[in-house]
Amino acid sequence: MTRILAAAVLTASVFAQQDDPGSPRNQSQLTFLQINDVYTTIPINDVGGLARVATLKRRLSAGGHPVILALAGDFLSPSVASSVFKGEQMVATLNAAGLDYATLGNHEFDFGMAVLKQRIAESKFTWVISNVLDPATRAPIAGSVPYAVRTVGALKIGFIGLCLTSAQIAPGLRGQFAFVEPMKAAAQYLPILRREGVNLVIAITHLTYVEDRALVKQFPQIDLVIGGHEHFPVTSTEDHALISKAGSDAKYAARIDILRGPGATSTTSATGRFFELIPITKDIPDDPETARVAASYESRLSSELDTVVGTSTVDLDATGRRQIEETALSNLVADALRADVAADVAIANAGGLRGNRVYPAGPLTRRTLLAMHPFGNIVCKISVSGRVLLDALNSGVSKLPGGSGQFPQVSGLTIAVRLGAPAATRVTNVRVGGVPLDLAKTYTVAMPDFVMNGGDNYAMFPGQKVLVDAQSGDLVVTALEKYVAARGTVSPSIDGRITIVP
């Protein structure tokens, strides 16, 4: 088992990083700086910002100390800017910030293979992708590597990169890539790193925490997991390995210092790892060049996206509540989808709504609407039986009481959900337009193409009769803009569409 010296410290500012002269961390040979799930180049509510992260890296590098900046997936999408630039702004700003390594998250697939290849080609940093291949060549996606080796003094560091392969990647996009299960890919490349003579193994992952734990238990040669996907900080020591996740949107950066003792000859020898979670606040000044690049893209967005399309008289909640219960914003979006294609009902997945904030009552700009729904999803319309509709609703609420992206946002119907019932039979008292659901009747349903294609476990929809397809439907955000603009003022409310029965 690896011997670990670990110090978990939450500091108030970058200036708090000075250690006592005798601190073991001062003897470290290498520092990793980690961010993950970063959807914006600039601060949100004055927290985060890639220009500040760049300053942090530069200061930690003072005197020639080696610092490796790594990003554990989810940054090309989704965001307001990515809806326009398709992640170009993220790559350009990360190039300026000095990013060294990145791997894929589930949102790197949002724009398809061609755009991903283009973003990789634009990158000055290294993409380490061990378990996703180009299906045409069965080789790593052009410009990426399945593993990497880097020497820093006495340390020879091996990297693998693993991302999830779950239903959170839309089926229509999954077909553009060839996926290998993360454990199988790790088993393929870790022996190669061993033959390369590495004495420190890093897995940059975009997996669930449960999957990260299983990974390090199965592969004891992994010393450190620089992970993503969860949007809250996670730091744990699992037997031999340190698992770190730094939250989201660069609100924090994880600093991990490596000190390998003189007798260390393998990845399971004595190692010191010192951990610090650093808030990225206004106490850290912007790196000028990184700030300049970020600002250039923000400026290009402003004239178009700051157009006001309507007004909301109520606050619109896009926090985690949308994944466990009915909200006013959820109802607004579902109503917009149903109206856009004149369907009987609408079902949208809660994961499509973004922002993780409450949008205050007042003017609604294109920028705000894009922040609410930044994906390029299309409003589609299908025809299904009442039985299929009921199956979809049961699937949507099956993760309750836990929150999930598949939680249904609905329009044109009401349901009751019995939490104590089996997952497949929780939904009861379904009424469509005020009339009880008829399992044999045919209904038209509006939904994003992501849901129509089976995303977020809506596996009952593929194969149903399509009335409006992804080639002819509106963008979800366009449907939302049209709905708001046609009314001028909207006042969505929680009106009892989903009743939760304890």
pLDDT tens track for 37-67: 999 999 988 999 999 999 999 999 998 999 9
| Helix/strand number for the chain, H first, E second | 13, 30
Contact 49, 280 (CB under 8 A): yes
> How many Å apart are CA 230 and CA 213, to the nearest integer?
13
The whole-angstrom separation of Cα 325 and Cα 322 is 6
Spell out the residues 6+ positions from residue 292 whose beta carbon is closer than 8 angstroms to its own: 96
Residue 261 has a pLDDT of: 66
Q: What is the pLDDT of residue 174?
A: 85
Residue 213 to residue 185: CA distance in whole angstroms: 16
Could you tell me how far CA 412 lies from the centroid of its own chain?
Answer: 30
Domain spans of the chain, in order of start: 8-15+25-298, 306-501
Separation between Cα atoms, residue 194 and residue 266, nearest integer Å:
9
Using DSSP, state whether 210 is helix, strand or coil: helix
Q: Which of 287, 210, 200, 217 minimizes the C-alpha distance to 245?
A: 210
145 Cβ neighbours under 8 A, 6+ residues apart: 126, 127, 128, 129
Q: DSSP string spanning 89-157?
A: HHHHHHHHHT--EE---GGGGTTHHHHHHHHHHH-SSEEB-SSEEETTTTEEPTT-BSEEEEEETTEEE
Both tokens of residue 474?
């509106």
CB distance 109 to 169 below 8 Å: yes
Q: What is the pLDDT of residues 193-239, one digit of tens each?
A: 999 999 999 999 999 999 999 999 999 999 999 999 988 899 999 88
Is residue 288 within 8 A of residue 76, CB to CB? The reply is: no
pLDDT, position 301: 87
CATH topology of domain 8-15+25-298: Purple Acid Phosphatase; chain A, domain 2 (3.60.21)
Residue written as tokens 């994961």? Answer: 351
SS3 letters for 287-332? CHHHHHHHHHHHHHHHHHHCCEEEEECCCEECCHHHHCCCCHHHHH
CA 279 from centre of chain: 20
pLDDT along the chain (502 residues), means of 10: 38 49 81 96 95 98 95 88 89 98 93 96 98 96 97 96 82 87 98 96 96 97 95 90 96 94 53 89 98 95 87 95 94 97 96 90 94 88 98 96 94 96 94 97 97 95 91 83 95 96 88
Ramachandran sector of residue 342 (left: φ over 0; alpha: ψ -120 to 50; beta: rest): left
pTM: 0.73
Check if the beta carbon of residue 169 is closer than 8 Å to that of residue 106: yes
pLDDT of residue 264: 57
CATH 3.30.1490.20 fits 306-501, yes or no: no
Give residues with Cβ within 8 angstroms of 269, minimum separation 6.
Answer: 2, 199, 260, 261, 263
pLDDT at 268: 47
